Chain A
Amino acid sequence: MKQELKSVGKGVRKKDAMQLLLGKPAYVDDVTPSDCLVVKVLRSPHAHALIEEIHTDVAMRVPGIVAVYTYRDVPQKRFTMAGQTYPEPSPYDRLILDRRLRFVGDAVAIVAGENEAAVDKALRLIKVRYEVLTPLLDFRSALDHEILVHPEESWHALCDVGADNRRNLCAQGMESDGDVEQVFADCDVVLERTFHTKACHQAMMETFRTYTEIDTYGRLHVISSTQIVFHARRILANALDIPKSKIHVEKPRIGGGFGAKQTLVAEIYPAFVTWKTGRAAKMIYTRRECQIAGSPRHEMEVKVKLGADRDGTIRALDVHTLSNTGAYGEHGPTTVGLSGHKSIPLYTGSLEAFRFAWDVVYTNVESAGAYRGYGATQGIFAVESAVNELSEMLGLDPVAVRMKNMVKQGQIMPAYYNEPASACALDRCMQQCADAFDWAKKYPVRVTENGKIRAAGVAMAMQGSGISGVDVGSASVKLNDDGFYVLRIGAADMGTGCDTILAQMTAECMDCAIEDVIVFGADTDASPYDSGSYASSTTYVTGRAVEKACLELKEKMCTVAAELLDCPTADVVFCGREISRADGTASVSLTDVANKSMCRNNIALEATCSHSSPTSPPPFMVGMVEIELDRETGTVEVLDYHAVVDCGTVVNPNLARIQTEGGLVQGIGMTLYENIQYDERGHLSENSLMQYRIPTRLETGRLHVSFAPSYEQSGPFGAKSVGEIVINTPAPAIAHAIYRATGRWYRELPILPEHVALGDTVK
């Protein structure tokens, strides 16, 4: 049922593009008053400690200081800062301030004052005596370690995720299909490898920041850079122990999120200050705080056991993931799942059995969170690398091996909750990518005139489109004077362009121009409920809600038009600019209908619909990279990166392409230099953008993105998702190319020039 589309599928400009490019005020700090309290947090210098004594009297005497709060001042009910649907899988293991400090950067005290200088001074004057405890820094030995990160009685988990704080366990589980051991015993080759990825940072350009005030109604009004306004409301209510009705959360433009802002990193501190003092307050994270006390990717060690036959048939996969959630459990139980759920099903085509098991552990390092790809990025690095190793070991072309084993349209994926690959063009992605990249020519290793090595690598990936059976997207569409529409959403455009693509869908449904659709969001008081923008859900889930709402609004408009046309509703047809009698004898303009809605009218020309999907149709993609490697210095230069994506119908080709390019470059950074190093006391070296190096435009290589769209029946106009999958291929593809050039497999990221030059494959 493919329709002729007028707005969907067009590479239109983002609605906010020109204003953003002109530097107009749009973000939290631009649009909120500056004459409010400055809020900062005193951060723990120790990875593990108890506060023995804390004296705030001297700090309080600094002129301009309004409040200094310690663990004695906060509610004693634990909560989680993870922005997830209630009941959250993440354990309730946080207090706003705690006597036990669990990582370097953990909050010791909150200071609020009239200006930054006073607050900085007060921070220096808080006297703390710490009982310094031995930190638990090695996640491989965390399970059942004698040092407990969360020994407290009040720790609790709302969902059965196998968590046990007495064992440092944030989650544990296992699932399988078929008898893996039996299949392994029957395989020609069985390969076992261990991979390690670190806690990379989202490094969005706008750090965490929140403004809070008490509004006219005595409620807490929160303006925050967040992906999850509704979850934020609930989490703040839990943290402050106040009714949810007392809180109003909205987000202005967001300066990037990538999952970081799916956790309430900054909100709680100014909110607490405002609630206690009644004064407006603002907290702006420094980049340093963003690095040491943010919500980075979960560090994971992924063990892959792969059984295959000599002809390259992949018959069994056994994946075990050990995930490091750090000091707190945000997104711990859920990220880990993706490391298996989004990697193993790629080989549904031939797999006879699989097993996937996981442990998620607490340690005394920065708490992890959500970062684009969630756990899929880590799992796909492992499984795709293992498949490349298998291919090279058997002397088979890795592209051919994948063509032989990959998941195909219509197959049921046992490792993906038995959901079907209802729309899958992975085979076309592979073929199209191999052609465009010229795999046949670039796969063989070449030596350039200056002695450098050129080599190629390949990987494929999948992700989801929302969380099946959980995520709720909603849309309200309203007809206004003269016939323009307002679309209200609770999903959060964080630069990704969801405001625009949802407007494209509205325009398509209402048969109007995209300019005639105004988008508003997100605001807990005014927007219809939406889980928020994460898990690659907005296009697929909220998009469908937009379709539903438009359909309902059209019916209402037809009812009003029928009154004007003096005929039964069943006899009118909606034609965008007008509504006509089916027999063509008369019509009313959209303007007439809109104006009628405001005079002697009993039918609200507004419709709100929600949508939740029982499935999460995966987008698929293939990436191929050509590198140039200097064997002596170890420098790896990305020359060309080809990516072909099946995100279903491409709603906006420009934005989908930029999403892909942005994701690839983040993936390149993660693979080659974005590093995380803790010293023996648990201090993070990469605590600034000077130390944590993200890619500049000199090291992206040339990116070539194209699409091989399938059509997802359950998605809006056949669309799936694109936001996250795009970060998943660079690590395995580049590691593969490096193997081709050096003969060595690198199974830990980042792969630094030093490792390549000296051949240090394992630390």
Chain B
Amino acid sequence: MLTFNRYLRATSLEEAYTEAQKKSSVVLGGGMWLRLGKRRIGTAIDLSDLGLCGVEETEDSYRIGAYTTLRDLECHAALNTQYSGVLRESLRAIVGVQFRNLATVGGSVFGRFGFSDVVTVLLALDASVELYKAGVVSLERFCTMGRVNDILTHVIIPKRSLSVSYHAQRNSATDFPVLNVCAARNGEQVTVCVGARPARAVAYRYTLDGTAGKAERIANEIASRAVFDSNTRATARYRRHLCCVLVRRALDDILEKEEA
């Protein structure tokens, strides 16, 4: 059971940031899995009062507050229209509505969990994260960074006309994914993200050259390049196999979509 000695409902980002510099402090996201941790925490920092909920639509992007819930994203009409419903598709299998009403985008992204559905999709949508001190950093770069003491305030998705497809394989309906794949196509540029390998998602970029059988070729190539591992849910060998299947299926979807 997780224990906090102190609970801070921060009144400013500066206050939250200063507190977060202490090793014993933790910035709360949605609060999921509170009972899971054994860690004893000095100060739990709550950003609820800092106006970080909600999606702001600007001319060229969607700026998503860190405390926006997964359920908000799942049900966000404009975002889902813009990106072929891929947010709904990738989020609906996460535990249940009551979980997604709490879990936040910021918490999911900041944790950069290997099993994340959200990170895989956001990566394919070329998202960035906005950190209080460090400013805007691409999600791809953020995924490679070590421990970050900064405060993640927003996730920014650039507005683009993309065809997107998301595929995940799970051993049971609302379990963590064994592997997930999100492919996004912008003209001839294709980004394929592979997550739950079970490590953090990685992105691969291709320029389509119009030859036949490209989906299969790209899928096989990614499967041979990507690093997979085994855990209690699946072996690396199965993940590599799935990678071929799911990448090919995702690419087939977006190539077809384009043609239709």
Binding site for B on A (CB under 8 A): 117, 120, 632-635, 669, 672-673, 675, 677, 685-686, 688, 690-691, 693, 695-696, 698-699, 752-754, 757-758
Contact = CB atoms under 8 A, between A and B. Distances in A.
A117 B1 CA distance: 10
15 contacts: A117-B3, A633-B245, A672-B172, A675-B232, A690-B36, A691-B232, A693-B171, A695-B172, A696-B172, A698-B174, A752-B171, A754-B178, A757-B241, A757-B242, A758-B238
Contacts of B169: 633, 635, 753
A673 B232 contact: no
Interface in B170-194: 171-175, 178
Given A633-B245, A686-B232, A757 B174 contact: no
Interface of B: 1, 3, 36, 169, 171-175, 178, 232, 234-235, 237-238, 241-242, 245-246
Contacts of A685: 232
Given A634-B238, A669-B172, A754-B235, 19 more contacts: A117-B3, A632-B245, A633-B169, A633-B246, A635-B169, A673-B171, A673-B175, A675-B232, A691-B232, A693-B172, A693-B175, A698-B173, A698-B174, A753-B171, A754-B178, A754-B234, A757-B238, A757-B241, A758-B241
A633 B242 contact: yes
A758 B245 CA distance: 12
A120 B241 contact: no
Contact of A754 (B172, B174, B238, B246): B238
Contacts of B237: 758
Given A635-B169, A693-B172, A758-B238, A753 B178 contact: yes
A753 B171 CA distance: 6
B3 to A, nearest CB: 8
A699 B173 CA distance: 7
Contacts of A117: 3
Contacts of A752: 171, 234
Nearest to B234: A754
Nearest to B245: A632
Contacts of B245: 632-633
A632 B172 CA distance: 16
Contacts of A634: 238
A524 B3 CA distance: 41
A686 B233 CA distance: 10
A119 to B, nearest CB: 11
Contact of B173 (A633, A675, A696): A696
Given A633-B245, A686-B232, A691-B232, A673 B238 contact: no
A685 B231 CA distance: 10
Nearest to B174: A696
Contacts of B241: 757-758
A688 B95 CA distance: 14
A108 B245 CA distance: 49
A117 B245 CA distance: 50
B86 to A, nearest CB: 19
A423 B246 CA distance: 52
Contacts of A632: 245
Nearest to B246: A633
A757 B246 CA distance: 13
Contacts of B246: 633
A695 B175 CA distance: 10
Nearest to B173: A698
B172 A120 contact: no
Contact of A699 (B1, B172, B232, B235): B172
Nearest to A631: B245
Contacts of A696: 172-174
A120 B232 contact: no
Contact of A673 (B1, B36, B172): B172
A190 B3 CA distance: 62
User: 7 shortest A-B CB distances, which residue pairs?
Assistant: A698-B173, A754-B238, A685-B232, A632-B245, A693-B172, A673-B172, A699-B173
B232 A677 contact: yes
Nearest to B179: A633
A686 B171 CA distance: 14
A748 to B, nearest CB: 15
Contacts of A673: 171-172, 175
A694 to B, nearest CB: 8
A124 to B, nearest CB: 10
B1 A120 contact: yes
